[in-house]
Amino acid sequence: MALSLLRVVRFMLGPPGVPLWIVLAFDTIMLMLVSCVILLVLPKKMLSKSKLVRSARNRLVRWLHRMVEPLPSMLLVVGTVWLGRKFGGGRLSNVPKAPHGVAAKAESMNDVCIKFSPTKGWNLFHEENFVVSFARDGCDLWQEQSFNKDNDCEDLSGSLKKGDRFKVVIAELPAFTRVKFRVCAISYWGRGPWSKEVTITTMAKPSKDLGFTGSLGPAWEKTGSGKKEYIWLQTRNEVHVRIPIGPEVRGKDIKFRAQPHRLQVDLAVGTEALELLHGSLANRIDSDDATWYIDESKDEGRFIQITIFKIEALARWTRVFEGDDHPEIDPRCVQWFVDPLNPGTLGDLDESGTKIISF
């Protein structure tokens, strides 16, 4: 008897090293289950002697009935829907409605992720698949890709609300191209209306310095350079931004301000400070270490050189600033490696032979 009691105590305490809250939770659940079983198997003679025990048993039985009662009807509905879809061949479906909540996000130079939600009705037998149409922005030469709901779409809605949100990927798109998308559903009775169009720009192929370009503010016209874009590049630890300027611009004309999430460069013209480059940074920086100076090279002429340091070394920046005027580069093309003879060597671009769709 003593040995059996000892085994029970060891079982209740759980394995060594298990947190106390897990042990207490497990013991509470086990105690509730054992209590329920005891209430259900108690003989009527014992129940008649205690009104409290009898009331507790009656409540437990009513709760179990409420849990079990819907099961047959649920199984009947599920079985009927399965049979209708299996043998109806889609004829029991409705004419589909336009999907809603369409959103697009560039994942690389050639891939765009499309998320959308189907517009559901009351018909439980309704079945539909989807078609995504896309075209270059400003052009009406649409191309299409069909997606089977079960095989080609990723369900993002989870197990409780299955089929409420889907994700598909359109591949082989041209790099750094503005593309518009729309989605429609298709059933046995044909296609439904198209969703609202969404537009996204695919990522750009980075330069040899693992950067790209972006748009300057309205003050670029006053710099005398004739250039309205800045250039940025990155190393493993730093990001450099180069703003072209003409020979008349001096250091005293530049107003520079750096914050952890924002960078601001103004050009003084007379008594005014005009916006040369303002923007929210795509990545956080150490603003105390941000520096700038005026430099000149044979290829680029005069420019303002801004140097900021990455919080995370070896991070692959896709752009310096947020916004449509500051294109993203494909981070998969940014590769770092260390050459023993030159520790600062940058990774070569990943030149993949990806087939590209022609618009």
C-alpha 124/C-alpha 120 separation (Å) is 9
| pLDDT for res 347 | 46
CB-CB contact of 195 with 183 (8 Å) = yes
User: What is the distance between the alpha carbons of residues 225 and 299, in angstroms, rounded to a whole number?
Assistant: 13
Six token digits for residue 62: 């009513």
Give pLDDT, residue 35.
82
Q: Which amino acid does the sequence have at 167? A: K
- Contact by Cβ (8 Å): 119, 183: no
Residue whose tokens read 């009513």: 62
Q: So what's the pLDDT on residue 354?
A: 61
- For position 71, what pLDDT does the model report? 62
Q: What is the CA radius of gyration of the chain?
A: 33
CB 143 within 8 A of CB 171: no
User: How far apart (Å, rounded) are the C-alpha atoms in residues 330 and 176?
Assistant: 10
Q: What is the mean pLDDT of each run of 10 residues along the chain (359 residues)?
A: 59 65 79 82 76 80 70 74 83 92 96 95 89 95 95 85 90 95 96 96 95 96 95 96 95 95 94 94 94 94 96 94 95 77 48 63
Phi then psi for residue 19, to 5 deg, are -60, 150
Instruction: Give the SS3 label for residue 6.
Output: helix
Tell me, what's the pLDDT at 317? Answer: 96
- Tokens coding 257: 């301000």
Domains of the chain, each with CATH number or no CATH:
20-68 (no CATH), 100-201 (2.60.40.10), 212-333 (2.60.40.790)
pLDDT of amino acid 159: 66
Give the pLDDT of residue 270. 86
- For the CA atoms of 119, 121, 126, 129, the dihedral, rounded to the nearest 10 degrees, stands at 0
pTM: 0.72
Residues listed for the chain: 359
User: Helix, strand, coil proportions of the chain in percent (round to 5)?
Assistant: 25, 30, 45
